Amino acid sequence: MNEQLPSKILDEIDDEYLSIINPIITNEEFIRRKKFNHHEHRSVYGHSLMVSVKSYHLAKKLNLDYKAAAIGGLLHDFYYKDWQLNNEKLPLRKQHGFVHASEALENSKKLFPELIDKKVANIIKRHMFPLNFIPPFYYESWLICFVDKYCSLEVFKSPKEWYKYVGLRKK
Ligand SMILES: [Fe+2]
Ligand SMILES: [Fe+2]
């Protein structure tokens, strides 16, 4: 996907941010997300970077753990496969919207065990509240939960894509 990230986001990437996320952003498996569709004009890579940069700066402003916000924001959608290419019919509760937060946590623990503490784990696992019923526990988890939704508002420009935002498949 040839993707243009908003210049506002690119301008907000500073050296401290880069040093925090360096092990993730240089990882081949993570870079592969440039090819995963988040929605029409946005890859999972681009979406995750936007959520991470915004959360990092907001966490700094709010005096929260900005390192956890940057890492959790970047890994919140680090699930295994491009679900939009999988045509397998699944029962509702097994569909992407319901399972990808747990998958992302499992995958993150596998690839970046040294970066996943209790808070980062909660950020990733609970970001799909309220679709996933259990609410976030930490302030930072609430932050990513909101920023993720805010960064997905682009989807509203394409009404046909709405169902994809929540990770559900049309019949
Ligand atoms: Fe997600
Ligand atoms: Fe997301």
CATH of the domain at 92: 1.10.3210.10
Asked whether residue 152 is domain-assigned, the answer is: yes
In terms of phi and psi (left: phi > 0; alpha: psi -120 to 50; beta: otherwise), the region of 166 is alpha
Number of domain units in the chain: 1
Gap between the Cα atoms of 76 and 51, Å rounded: 9
Q: Which of 63-72, 86-95, 115-124 has the lowest mean pLDDT?
A: 86-95
* 113 is a domain residue: yes
**Other CB atoms within 10 A of residue 38 CB:** 26
Which residues have CB atoms below 5 A from the ion given as ligand 1? Answer: 77
Assigned domain for 9 exists: no
131 domain residue, yes or no: yes
Tell me whether residue 170 is in a domain.
no
- Domain assignment present for 28: yes
Give the total residue count for the chain: 171
Q: Give the range of the structural domain holding residue 24, as residue numbers without chain letter.
A: 14-165
Who has greater pLDDT, 137 or 37? 137
Listing DSSP states for 4-43 in one string gives: PPPHHHHHT--HHHHHHHHHHHT-HHHHGGGGSEEETTEE
CA-CA distance, 44 to 52, in Å (whole number)?
12
Query: Which ligand ends up closest to the CA of 51?
Result: 2
Global model pTM greater than 0.95: no
Ligand 2 centroid to Cα of residue 58, in Å, is 17
Average pLDDT, the chain: 90
Beta strands per DSSP E along 21-99:
37-39, 42-43
In a domain, residue 8? The reply is no
